[in-house]
Structure 1
Amino acid sequence: MSAYPIAIYGNGLFQDGYPTPPVPYATQAQQLNQGVTTVILWSIHIHDGGDLYLNDTLFVSKGQIQYATDGSSGVNPDYPALVKQLMSGGSVRDLLVSVGAWGTTSDFTAWLGAREQVKANLAVLQAAFGITGVDFDYEGVYGNDAQNMIVTLTLDVGSLGLYATYCPYTADSFWTGCLADVYAQNGQRQIVKWMNLQCYAGGANNSPTQWAQAVQQTPDTGVTDPYAFIVPGYAVEGAQGEGPSSIQQAFAQLAGTGITGGFLWNSSGIFSTEPGGGPTPADYAEAINAGLNASTSARATVDA
């Protein structure tokens, strides 16, 4: 049974390089479906008033998806067909949008200031593309005000029938505090399905098992399997990271610990190196499976 999730951050997916990407968009969708289970559109930036941008491109404004009409403004007009292809008949079964990035705490304060409009815009993506969740890539000041903000926004995500994932690289007590508060304020039901733990760049020294222990030691989070709840991620070639063999070795160190999946940072790194003979998404997905020995050890779906 395959590891779950095998997630990838889709850096400007189906938009990066528009209209002439290094790997054709339809080929990208096909390749992702050869082992990746979860695609996370990165990064959604939220501007004052609640407009959603995919990186620097206006994506959703006032409840309307903005498609390019002149080749420069709005997203790829083929986006609906590409997402349909992505979600049909292959390994991909989850499609999330990720809010934030390093140095973009304004995404979250803008979201807090326009909660109803952001909910309406997320609902448009839910209806149009079938998104299943929202990833929180908050990398800023960690304190009570920030925790209250993240909890409030997580509850908004849950009110849409979506789940959340958190993408931390530091401050484990902050994130476990968010989990406990969400659980308490949501009638003892957890909205956060897993944590995408950054094990590269600023999180290069993170220990997934230590983060699992931090979740395990925090009372009343609603997380039933703390080790499966932690999904470690590593950077790929083309994104200041390593190739499949190194990533397989990293996951081999976690085999048998209860860690059941992993994520890749990021798609544009893979697609930038692939034309020169670099590895495909399937090669990286197989590396995660092989490292965790998932082909011979059945692993249950992560469910917080």
Structure 2
Amino acid sequence: MSAYPIAIYGNGLFQDGYPTPPVPYTTQAQQLNQGITTVILWSIHIHDGGDLYLNDTLFVSKGQIKYATDGSSGVNPDYPALVKQLMSGGSVRDLIVSVGAWGTTSDFTAWLGARDQVKTNLAVLQSTFGITGVDFDYEGVYGDETQKMIVTLTLDVGSLGLYATYCPYMQSSFWTGCLADVYAQNNSRQIVKWMNLQCYAGGAGNDPTQWAKAVQQTPNTGVANPYAFIVPGYAVEGAQGGDPSYIQQMFSQLAGSGITGGFLWNSSGIFSTEPTGGPTPADYAAAINAGLGASASAREAVDA
């Protein structure tokens, strides 16, 4: 059995390097389907007024996907076909969009200021590409007002019938507080399906089991299995991280802990090193499986 989820942050996926990426986009889709279960499209930035950008490229505006017509503005016009290939017949089960990144708290304040338009634009991604969730990559100032903002936006995601994931690297009490507030304000139903815990860069010292204990010790979150709820992630070659043997070593330390999934940071690192003989997404997926002993656990259901 395979661990679940085996997620990857798709850094500018199907757009990075447009129109001549280091690995052809169709090959990227094929390779991701050889072991990856969850693709997290990173990063969606939200501008004032609610427009969605894929990194620096306008993606969705006023309920319309913006495709490139002159080779420089808008996203790859082959995006629908590539996503269809990604979601058809392989290992990939879920496509999530991730909002934010280090130093981009303005994505969330812009979202808060244009909630209705952002909901419209997310609904277009849902209907066009079949996204199943929204990842919150908030990395900024933590406090009561920020917690209220994250909870409000999580509830907006749930109102669309989507689930949320959180991508923390610090401040476990802040994030568990968000979980408890979402649960309380959503009629005792949790919208957040799991936490993608950063265990690289600023989160390199994180112990996933300690985060699981923090969730476990927080009352009224609606999280039935705190250990499966924590999905730790590590960086790959090309993204200031390690090769599959390193990834396997990291996850082997968690075998038997109750943690059943993991994520990779990030796709562009893999695709940048692959042309010179570097490993493929399948190699990294196999490393997570091997490290965890291929333990499998269904994600708990969420009911927005």
User: TM-score of the superposition, structure 1-length normalised?
Assistant: 0.99
Question: Which residue number in structure 2 is paired with residue 272 of structure 1?
Answer: 272
Deviation at 1:300, TM superposition (A): 2.0
In the alignment, is residue 293 of structure 1 matched against residue 293 of structure 2? yes
Unaligned runs of at least 5 residues, structure 2: none
Question: Which residue number in structure 2 is paired with residue 303 of structure 1?
Answer: 300
C-alpha distance in 1 between matches for 2:92 and 2:49: 32
Deviation at 1:301, TM superposition (A): 1.0
C-alpha distance in 1 between matches for 2:10 and 2:224: 28
Mapping 1:26-41, distance limit 5 Å: 26-41=26-41
C-alpha distance in 1 between matches for 2:96 and 2:297: 20
In the alignment, is residue 221 of structure 1 matched against residue 224 of structure 2? no
> CA offsets per residue over residues 19-43 of structure 1, 9 Å max, x none?
0000000000000000000000000
> CA offsets per residue over residues 134-153 of structure 1, 9 Å max, x none?
00000000000000000000
C-alpha distance in 1 between matches for 2:172 and 2:76: 38
> CA offsets per residue over residues 113-172 of structure 1, 9 Å max, x none?
000000000000000000000000000000000000000000000000000000000000
Question: Which residue number in structure 2 is paired with residue 207 of structure 1?
Answer: 207
Question: Which residue number in structure 1 is paired with residue 57 of structure 2?
Answer: 57
C-alpha distance in 2 between matches for 1:269 and 1:303: 30
Aligned-residue sequence identity (percent) comes to 88
Unaligned runs of at least 5 residues, structure 1: none
Deviation at 1:269, TM superposition (A): 0.2
User: TM-score of the superposition, structure 2-length normalised?
Assistant: 0.99
> CA offsets per residue over residues 206-261 of structure 1, 9 Å max, x none?
00000000000000000000000000000000000000001100000000000000
C-alpha distance in 1 between matches for 2:239 and 2:124: 31
Mapping 1:109-258, distance limit 5 Å: 109-258=109-258
C-alpha distance in 2 between matches for 1:111 and 1:90: 33
CA RMSD of aligned residues (A): 0.5
What amino acid is the match of 2:278?
G
Question: Which residue number in structure 2 is paired with residue 78 of structure 1?
Answer: 78
C-alpha distance in 2 between matches for 1:21 and 1:66: 20
